[in-house]
Amino acid sequence: MQVEGNIPGVGCAQVEITGRHISSVAIKDKFSDDLPFISPGFVDIQVNGFAGIDFSGPDLDAEKAISVLPKIWSTGCTSFCPTLITNSVSELVRLFAILEQAARTNSDFAYTVPCYHLEGPYISPLGSHGAHEPKFMHAPTWDEFMELQRAAGGRIGIVTLAPEWPGTEEFVRKAVNSGVIVSIGHTDGSAADVHRGAAAGATLNTHLGNGSPNMMHRHNAPIWAQLADDSLRASIICDGFHLPPDIVKVIVAVKGIDKVILITDAVHVALLPPGKYKMVGTDIDFLPSGQVLRADHVSMAGSALTANRGISVFMKFSHCSLAEAIQAATANPANLLGRPTVCSQIAVGQPANLVLFRQAPETLKVETVISQGRQVYSA
């Protein structure tokens, strides 16, 4: 297979695909107005659900999990991490086992899902808990995590936790030594707690600027430490609701584009009509504006964002170039994950996971998506 497109920041390219990998890349000329842009497929490390399927839902089964693929491909996303949120341990075991069943029975799902993300129950039950259920939250224990990891076939690749829990530092060290990425999020801790978590091996902030208490000390606040600690990358949600433009610009300015990762934090209402829904027993409202809130409207409840729109909003808020925004949605999360099925750049030997798109008002209009060297979506 051969495809042509404009690589953002580089120029017009002819890309040859042999089997599942890129076999040659020829930069032909300056940009062509007739051709779409081409980039690695988007990589989303935090997807709670999509197109009516809730990965934490009581009715989840393997077939439903697999059914997400065509919808998520249509947004340009070729790699994503199904994310399970705070729940009982027994329910988390059940859900991870279902995801693993989907991976065992469907090779496309196994390829598109490099690993799973566990967001809770090791997060704060105080002001930062958001739409998560506090009654299930507790300090991390290694034996319990290994029970979840066994159910997940060893494929929990990211765990989000609040670093103020007792025993967190030892847990972080064990997780990192086992190959798990530890992310700090939903924390009511101090700046010192954040720095201790980072020193133990945490390397990521989960949706920085969100999952935070509304009122914090003006100086001794976790968000300052999360910004200041150079060992922590920042994942951010750019849907126009979770972060205002000023905060997005500050995060990019402090972290630098190499340490910014765009996520959707999408829940199952993404691509569905506005209305009233449930998420792990919590009533949520999907408003006509596109915002997703707990029914009491005290906090947000994930997003209805898609990766292609998130890139566009990020460019608008941060004033970054298209090439920089694509990096934050592809190379940066791919390099964080370090998994062989995730494409990080258009280069020889990389997995042939590509998206061709054109810029449109408020979004990127996806035209063609290629995964494993074959076309899986066409507009």
Q: Residue 333: pLDDT band by 50, 70, 90 thresholds?
A: very high
Whether 224 has a pLDDT exceeding 80, the answer reads yes
Looking at residue 130, its pLDDT comes to: 86
Q: Residue 331: pLDDT band by 50, 70, 90 thresholds?
A: very high
Q: What are phi and psi of 52, to 5 degrees?
A: 90, -5
Quick one: tokens of 75? 């947004």
Strands 363-371 and 374-378: antiparallel
Instruction: Please state the domain extents for the chain.
Output: 41-344
Alpha helices in 74-190 (DSSP H): 89-105, 107-112, 142-151, 168-177
Q: What is the pLDDT of residues 167-192, one digit of tens each?
A: 999 999 999 999 999 999 999 999 99
Report the SS3 class of residue 152. Answer: coil
Q: Using the 8-state DSSP alphabet, how is residue 306 labeled?
A: -
Mean pLDDT of all residues in 324-337: 98
Looking at residue 200, its pLDDT comes to: 98
Mean pLDDT of all residues in 281-288: 93
Mention the CATH class of domain 41-344. alpha beta
Distance separating alpha carbons of residues 159 and 126, to the nearest angstrom: 19
Distance separating alpha carbons of residues 25 and 2, to the nearest angstrom: 10
Tokens 């042939």 belong to 352
- Cα separation of the two ends of the chain: 18
Mean pLDDT of all residues in 351-377: 97
Q: What is the pLDDT of residues 122-158, one digit of tens each?
A: 999 998 888 889 999 999 999 999 999 999 999 999 9
Is pTM beyond 0.85? Reply is yes
Strands 275-279 and 282-286: antiparallel
Q: What is the pLDDT of residues 48-97, one digit of tens each?
A: 999 999 999 999 999 999 999 999 999 999 999 999 999 999 999 999 99
